[in-house]
Amino acid sequence: MPNPKTRPARKAVIPVAGMGTRFLPATKAVPKELLPVVDRPALQYIVEEAARAGLAEVLMVTGRNKAAIEDFFDRTPELETALEKKGDAGRLAAVQESSEIAQVHFVRQGEARGLGHAVLQAAAFVGDEPFAVLLGDDLIDARDHLLEQMLAVQAEHGGSVIALLDVGMENIDKYGAVAIDPGSEGSDVVAVTGLVEKPPVEEAPSSLAIIGRYVLAPEVFDVLRETAPGRGGEIQLTDALATLVERGEPVHGVVFGGRRYDTGDKLDYLKAVIRLAAERDDLGPALRGWLRDFVTELPAEGASSS
């Protein structure tokens, strides 16, 4: 049952101020969030996910050289008129869709001081309600309703909810990691008892990693204002959540076992494009056939290509 003390989350925050250095030189002029995943920017998938979960108001925390993001979610009358005159209804609908998904707002971070600092810029927009944070590098397949589940857990238990993925102990040093109540072990909803940002493998409390979906209680803003820079000299959201846990505030984790596409890494980005394109009715049959032929024609590993 919903917690009567908990107001429902209605808003989403998407930090998009990063410089995208892993995708240089492409991101020298194009925000990494607008790089296409098949034929839509990665960021459009994220906004669509928020809207499907009932979060109709979205705040993007931007930085310098990110004006193209605002342009993308704005109307383009000249282009729309040209497509309408051509009778190209399909492309016209696709162009208009990006400005109609949700009500999108923008605020600048000013300086890059970490994810926690980016989230703090949303305080005036959010007010005293719980809210979602979606990171643009993680695409969650539309068939897997992770955010909806997290919102339901927050409505039932209050506090904050984070998405978790078992990445194996060998990879945990690349992520924020959590300790959980042994009584909830094995469940897809766990009680979080501690958090640490990118711990050494030998010090990690578990192999459960924090991935880019959060539903946060508004109390996190007061904690973020007091949070000192942590790993990397940045204000870490993980550190603020750890403080909430220490204060006795409820923090739960939803262990995700569905389809996730990482667009923040070049190889994983290519995999995401191929996977999503291969499943489409308009592209899939031809692409899958080409991939089979391509793989068959590849020389065996170690063989000469001469």
- The confidence score (pLDDT) of residue 93 equals 86
> How many Å separate Cα 29 from the centre of its chain?
22
Q: Label residue 3 by pLDDT band (50, 70, 90).
A: low
- State the average pLDDT over residues 68-76: 87
More confident residue, 133 or 6: 133
Q: Which residue has the higher pLDDT, 111 or 11?
A: 11
Q: How far is the C-alpha of 111 from the C-alpha of 288, rounded, in Å?
A: 44
Q: How many CB atoms lie within 10 A of CB 218?
A: 15
pLDDT at 4: 47
Tens digits of residue pLDDT in 233-260? 788 898 899 999 999 999 999 999 888 9
The mean per-residue pLDDT over the stretch 88-94 comes to 84
* Section 161-173 average pLDDT: 92
Nearest residue to 16 via CA among 127, 104, 90: 104
Q: 107-122 burial, b for 16+ CB within 10 Å, e for fewer?
A: bebeeeebbbbbbbbb
DSSP string, 105-163: EEEE-SS---HHHHHHTTHHHHTTS-EEEE-TTEEEPTTS-HHHHHHHHHHHH-SEEEE
Residue pLDDT, tens place only, 263-283 = 888 999 999 999 999 999 999
Contact predicate 266/22, CB 8 Å:
yes
pLDDT, averaged across the chain: 88
Window from 2-11, 145-154, 202-211 with minimum mean pLDDT: 2-11
pTM: 0.89
DSSP code for 257: -
pLDDT digits (tens, 9 = 90+) for 105-140: 999 887 778 899 999 999 999 999 999 999 988 899
